[in-house]
Each structure stands twice: as structure tokens, then as C-alpha cells.
């Protein structure tokens, strides 16, 4: 008799559980605008079009110019400082990013890199709006970006 291991996949309940797992929760893309030469390598390689280089502007207008427009105004987008070549900005839609690291692998100047981070959550007695209060840490968005939210 032949004993062969067969992978049968997931049933619906297992699928729902697995989909909610974060595979790269402790890895965050980090962008250093001063190193960016605006070669678009990161934009070309991104499988989900979560990166855009464009001129800065009002949030509503900026959202319409993204490669994958962020129509949901409750989802945050991250905007870098002005880039040295053209004063445009790098915009990242964190809701789309899967932290695959392809942008960091492709970047010729290391403007993009991958960094581990610690998720800090407020606990009893801490101000929920400022979970870093009392810890000597300023509130910040991931990866060197400024959070733009409604």
C-alpha cells in the first residue's frame, strides 16, 4: 500500500482564521526621503500599487492622484517630507501595503528599508489618544512618514 501525504487545504473556518493572520506584523517599511532619487523602482515593483510620488496638496486632492486611489477617507495615507530632486512627496497607503519588502530590495539608494518595530498599545491609566505619553516617545506614524487622516 502506498502511504502518501496529501495536503487537503483549509475548510471555511480555517480559511477565515488564516486570512486574519499577519505574516509580517513586526516588519515595517521605513522611508528616508533624503536618500530618494525618484527613480520609481519601488513604484514599479510594488505588487499592490501602494506607493506614489506626486506633488503634495490638500488631502482630498492627493487621494485622487494615488496609483490606487484611497477613496475611503477613514483610511490613513502617509506622506513623506519633500523629496530632494523635485520637492514632490512619496505617498504610501498603509492599508494596501503587505510589507513584502520588494521596495526595499529594489531601491538602489536604500531610501526604503525594512525595520522591526514594537507595537505599543495603551494600557490602563494611559491616555488612549497618546499611548506613548510618559514614555519619552513622540507620537509618530510608521516608517518616517507623517500620518494624514481626516
* Span 2-52, pLDDT tens digits: 777 667 777 888 877 766 665 666 678 899 999 999 999 999 999 999 999
Is residue 114 assigned to a domain? yes
Instruction: Report the C-alpha gap between 142 and 78 in whole angstroms.
Output: 8
The number of residues in the chain equals: 150
Is residue 38 assigned to a domain? yes
Band (pLDDT 50/70/90 cuts) for residue 141 is: low
Number of domains in the chain: 1
Mean pLDDT of 41-65: 93
Is residue 13 assigned to a domain? no
Is residue 5 assigned to a domain? no
Band (pLDDT 50/70/90 cuts) for residue 130 is: low
Is residue 120 assigned to a domain? yes
Tally of CB atoms within 10 A around 149: 11
pLDDT digits (tens, 9 = 90+) for 84-105: 999 999 999 988 888 889 999 9
pTM here?
A: 0.64
Q: How high is the pLDDT of residue 139?
A: 43
Percentage above 70 pLDDT, the chain: 68
Beta pairing, strands 77-79 & 89-93: antiparallel
Is residue 1 assigned to a domain? no
Is residue 50 assigned to a domain? yes
Contact between residue 65 and residue 53 where contact means Cβ atoms under 8 Å apart: no
Q: How high is the pLDDT of residue 68?
A: 86
Q: Taking the CA atoms of 17, 21, 23 and 29 in sequence, report the sign of the dihedral they define.
A: positive
User: Containing domain of residue 51, as a range?
Assistant: 31-148
Band (pLDDT 50/70/90 cuts) for residue 138 is: very low
Is residue 119 assigned to a domain? yes
CATH number for the domain harbouring residue 133 = 3.30.70
Amino acid at each position: 500500500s502506498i502511504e502518501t501525504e496529501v495536503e487537503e487545504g483549509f475548510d471555511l473556518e480555517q480559511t477565515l482564521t488564516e486570512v486574519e493572520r499577519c505574516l509580517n506584523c513586526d516588519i515595517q517599511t521605513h522611508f528616508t526621503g533624503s536618500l530618494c532619487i525618484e527613480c520609481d523602482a519601488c513604484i514599479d515593483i510594488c505588487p499592490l500599487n501602494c506607493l506614489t510620488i506626486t506633488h503634495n496638496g490638500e488631502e482630498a486632492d492627493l487621494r485622487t492622484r494615488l496609483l490606487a486611489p484611497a477613496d475611503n477617507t477613514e483610511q490613513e495615507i502617509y506622506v513623506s517630507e519633500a523629496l530632494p530632486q523635485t520637492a514632490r512627496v512619496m505617498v504610501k497607503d498603509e492599508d494596501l501595503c503587505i510589507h513584502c519588502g520588494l521596495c526595499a530590495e529594489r531601491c538602489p539608494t536604500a531610501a526604503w528599508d525594512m525595520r522591526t518595530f514594537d507595537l505599543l498599545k495603551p494600557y490602563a491609566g494611559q491616555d488612549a489618544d497618546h499611548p506613548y505619553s510618559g514614555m519619552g516617545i513622540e507620537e509618530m506614524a510608521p516608517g518616517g512618514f507623517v500620518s494624514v487622516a481626516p
